[in-house]
Amino acid sequence: MNGNDTVRSVELTGRPHVLIIVQNLPVPLDRRVWLECQALTAAGYEVSVICPKGPGDPARAELDGVHLYKYKPPPQAEGLLSYAWEFLYCWLRTAWLSLTVSRRRRFDVIQACNPPDTYWLLALLWKARGVRFVFDHHDLNPEVFLSRFGAPTGLGSKIQLAILKWLERRTFRTADRVISTNTSYQRIAWERGGVDPERTAVVRSGPDTAVMRPVDAVDSLRRGGKHLVAYLGIMGPQDGVDGVLDMAEHVVRTRGREDVRFALLGFGDCLDDLRKRCTDLGLDDYVEFPGRVGPEQITRYLSTASVGLSPDPLSPLNDISTMNKTMEYMAFALPVVAYRLTETVISAGDCAVYVEPGDTIGFADAVVALLDDEERRSELGAAGRRRAETELDWRAQARTYVGVYDGLLVNRSAGPFPDAWPETEQRAKGDTGLLDRWGNTMVDLRDDEALRDFAGTRRVSREPAGDLSAG
């Protein structure tokens, strides 16, 4: 690891302090990072986060014991020069805020979450003062480039790809520990990054199934249709949401299924273009874009939908990336239709319907077939929820994650669940008829038959109070 072992030992004074850096999403909107923050604070660590502001966010806040430091994000980048300025601007704002955090209290570790792979230099500067560096490997930037633009042919694009690979190497080589979101990413850290396997760990972005749990459906979200089909996630060029519109057009026009509605939840670079294309296709009566959504809206939409979509096309990035939305659908007992990608199959196992990549018509037909087969939806939805609980849940991941820090700092923490796994009050008392914090009636997860029935029917008991819009 190029001399990482020569970094002087961390001298802990009081609670260990971790500074987490995120550039591409605000916190706690970044659910993986927020779960990490909660795991560390529960284990007795102090946590500070530097990230861009979301709409209406204050510059400073303390939330559930986590200190948040936020800066105004730059305008959306378009073109090479604006991307370079975005990276420089965010780097400088983050560097300045790291000094602010340090003045409040010295931190022992910097954790940088990519993209981008630019914070190794900031970590290197702080390592001179005894601070350790943990790289939380969220994305593969060289593969993002290849997935968006294809193999480079001109000199300029070859230079851009070479720079991305160099930045990735520097990040790997500067890190004292590398946390990978799956084994495919871990293998890249070993083989392309030259990281000692003992300095790596896999921490999947598993759903917190104590929080992500199904409730009774909200009929108004179906907007007069019989079935709701949902997509949840980022809407970038590599995410395949344009293919969802092609699929929706086939379902509504070719298959004549005017009883189906689509909700595409999320935001990203392509959102405005997608809305315009939806209008051009004449699908506004069937497709809605609620935009940026929080836990309340996610719970209601995914509990109401009959099918969840994982339309990520085959690409160098997508094939080996774990799609959080797939696991989140499963947490809500929502049957999934997905393209057959390596890591998607690892996540969903036998709990999804798979279509060969690129077959948009086959994808649409698989959705219609699933909508017309209540028994199959019952089977897949219930199995998905149980898989989420037993194999994908954040519980095991949190222990591994905190273990990385305990080992790095030679710290004997209480672990992420010092008072045992946080069972909800509703589960402890029995779920039937009880409400979640937003007034939704929760599904009785203790009863396999009740879970199967819900997964197939998406039953409605009553409309919850409050505004259902995403705001």
Q: What is the DSSP string of 269-318?
A: TTHHHHHHHHHHTT-TTTEEEEES--HHHHHHHHHH-SEEEE-PPP-TTG
Q: Three-state secondary structure along 78-91?
A: CCHHHHHHHHHHHH
The label of the residue with tokens 């070993």 reads 190
What is the CATH architecture of 14-208+394-409?
A: 3-Layer(aba) Sandwich (3.40)
The residue-averaged pLDDT of 241-263 equals: 97
The label of the residue with tokens 């795991």 reads 39
Residue 13: per-residue pLDDT: 56
Among 133, 144, 438, which residue's Cα sits nearest to residue 312?
144
pLDDT in tens, 197-243: 999 999 999 899 988 999 999 999 999 999 999 999 999 888 999 99
Do 14-208+394-409 and 219-390 have matching folds?
yes
Residue 420: per-residue pLDDT: 60
Q: What are 158's two structure tokens?
A: 């070859």
The label of the residue with tokens 């069937």 reads 286
pLDDT in tens, 102-158: 999 999 999 999 999 999 999 999 999 999 999 999 999 999 899 888 888 999 889
Q: What are 112's two structure tokens?
A: 């940088």
At position 224, the amino acid (one-letter code) is G
Taking 3-state DSSP, the helix, strand and coil percentages for the chain, each rounded to the nearest 5, stand at 45, 15, 40
Residue 269: per-residue pLDDT: 87
Residue 4: per-residue pLDDT: 47
Please give the Cα distance from 463 to 116 (Å, whole number). 42
Among 5, 406, 49, 450, which residue's Cα sits nearest to residue 196?
5
Q: For residue 300, is pLDDT > 90?
A: yes
Residue 421: per-residue pLDDT: 52
Whether residue 354 contacts residue 323, with contact meaning beta carbons closer than 8 Å, is answered with no
The residue-averaged pLDDT of 333-340 equals: 98
The residue-averaged pLDDT of 74-83 equals: 75
Q: Domain coordinates of the chain in residue numbers?
A: 14-208+394-409, 219-390
The label of the residue with tokens 């105004």 reads 72
Please give the Cα distance from 81 to 85 (Å, whole number). 6
Q: How far is CA 179 from the centre of its chain?
A: 15
Residue 77: per-residue pLDDT: 66
Alpha helices in 4-79 (DSSP H): 31-42
What is the rounded average pLDDT for all residues in the chain? Answer: 90
Residue 7: per-residue pLDDT: 39
Q: Residue 341 — pLDDT band, cuts 50, 70, 90?
A: very high
Q: For residue 80, is pLDDT > 90?
A: no
**Three-state secondary-structure class, residue 149:** helix
**Helix (H), strand (E) at residue 381:** helix 374-387
Highest mean pLDDT among 176-180, 292-296, 421-425: 176-180
CATH node for 219-390: 3.40.50.2000
pLDDT in tens, 278-287: 999 999 999 9
Whether residue 22 contacts residue 113, with contact meaning beta carbons closer than 8 Å, is answered with yes
